[in-house]
Amino acid sequence: MRLGVLDVGSNTVHFLVVDAHPGAAPLPAYSHKIDLRLAELLDPDGAIREDGIRQLVDMVTSSMRVAEDKGVEEVLPFATSAVREAVNGEAVLKRVQDETGVELRVLSGGDEARLTFLAARRWYGWSSGRLLLLDIGGGSLEIACGLDEEPDTAVSLPLGAGRLTAGWLPGDPPEPDRVRELRKHVRAEIARTVAEVSRLGPPDHVVGTSKTFKQLARITGAARESEGPLVPRRLTRGALEDWVPRLAAMSAEQRVLLPGVSAGRARQLLAGALVAEAALDLYRVDELDICPWALREGVILRRLDRMSS
């Protein structure tokens, strides 16, 4: 069947059309997205601004037109941390439903971590053993670890690259003192989760998902995205540690010139690198593999599982 996944994330609103059926990998058929960056479109009280809401409504409306044009049988609409944590989140959801007819399902942080873990487990299989997943989004960091398709632990922290950039790094390039303050904050937050994850034993395989990890891997020498999802890509802690001070000294304009870095993500890359570096260091991870599948694929796979049960 043809499914549409409407992902209202903290950075991007993405409508992905896939051909999918139980027992097979979902195949992307069409992509429609905008870099809305809802995590940065907040007023001082933490509410999503009117311009952000208007753009979101317009994007949902256009996505439903795409769904009709592409023959989508079912749409799976969901929203993550930007809407979940906005003080006017409920009003935003009601506005979207009233004006488009689409009811967005708000995923909890734990749901995000579990569904992304499911996608990574299906991609790498049982031979991966104990899997540790790290996912840096625009609004939050998801961490999950376990042996099965359901992780033994699933944690979400408010350490998304967009959120941290907006709240901690106003300069371009940011002032060194602000970078140090953010580094300290990130490490303190992640350190609170180390005992919970470590009690499960050392992971056999560590993977990273999300655009942030893909871009960090690319600037440290990983293959281009155009080479396809089956090409192995890896990020090492050593290479990342070398790049963090270099990114801190660059402006967003300079970061755009790096391989694989998009204009919409350039300002956020330093904050994402600080989160990635802290996670690899505190979890004692020397390297991780970049997983092509993430939350959207997890949502699709869970839906297919329910069809076959």
What's the pLDDT score for residue 108?
96
What's the pLDDT score for residue 239?
98
Beta strands in 193-268 (DSSP E): 205-209, 234-236
Parse the chain into domains and list their residue ranges: 2-106, 125-294
- The mean pLDDT of 134-147, rounded to a whole number, is 96
Condensed to tens digits (0 to 9), the pLDDT of residues 163-214 reads: 999 999 999 999 999 999 999 999 999 999 999 999 989 999 999 999 999 9
- The mean pLDDT of 146-164, rounded to a whole number, is 96
Confidence band of 123 (pLDDT split at 50, 70, 90) = very high
**CATH of 125-294 given 3.40.50.1240, 3.40.1280.10, 3.30.420.150, 3.40.190.290:** 3.30.420.150
Mean pLDDT lowest for which of 2-16, 37-51, 71-85, 95-109? Answer: 37-51
Q: How far is CA 89 from the centre of its chain?
A: 19
Q: Look up the pTM and report it.
A: 0.95
Residues 6+ apart with CB under 8 A from 142: 109, 112, 113, 116, 133, 134, 135, 154, 155, 156
The answer to whether the CB of 304 falls within 8 A of the CB of 22 is: yes
- The mean pLDDT of 54-60, rounded to a whole number, is 98
What's the pLDDT score for residue 250?
97
Arithmetic mean of pLDDT over the chain = 96
What amino acid occupies position 54?
A: R
Starting from the edge strand earliest in sequence, which strands make up the sheet with 74-79, in order? 27-34, 13-19, 2-8, 74-79, 105-106
What's the pLDDT score for residue 309?
60
Residues 6+ apart with CB under 8 A from 187: 278, 281, 282
* CATH code assigned to 2-106: 3.30.420.40
- The mean pLDDT of 22-38, rounded to a whole number, is 93
What's the pLDDT score for residue 200?
84
Confidence band of 88 (pLDDT split at 50, 70, 90) = very high
- The mean pLDDT of 149-159, rounded to a whole number, is 96
**pLDDT exceeds cutoff 80 at 119:** yes
Residue, of 217 and 11, whose pLDDT is higher: 217
What's the pLDDT score for residue 304?
93
**pLDDT exceeds cutoff 80 at 104:** yes
What's the pLDDT score for residue 94?
98
What's the pLDDT score for residue 42?
87
**pLDDT exceeds cutoff 70 at 229:** yes
CA angle centred on 170, ends 236 and 235, rounded to 5°: 10
What's the pLDDT score for residue 39?
84
Within this chain, domains 2-106 and 125-294 share the same CATH topology: yes
* CA dist., res. 3 & res. 22, Å (int): 12
What amino acid occupies position 258?
A: L
Confidence band of 81 (pLDDT split at 50, 70, 90) = very high
* CA dist., res. 169 & res. 182, Å (int): 8
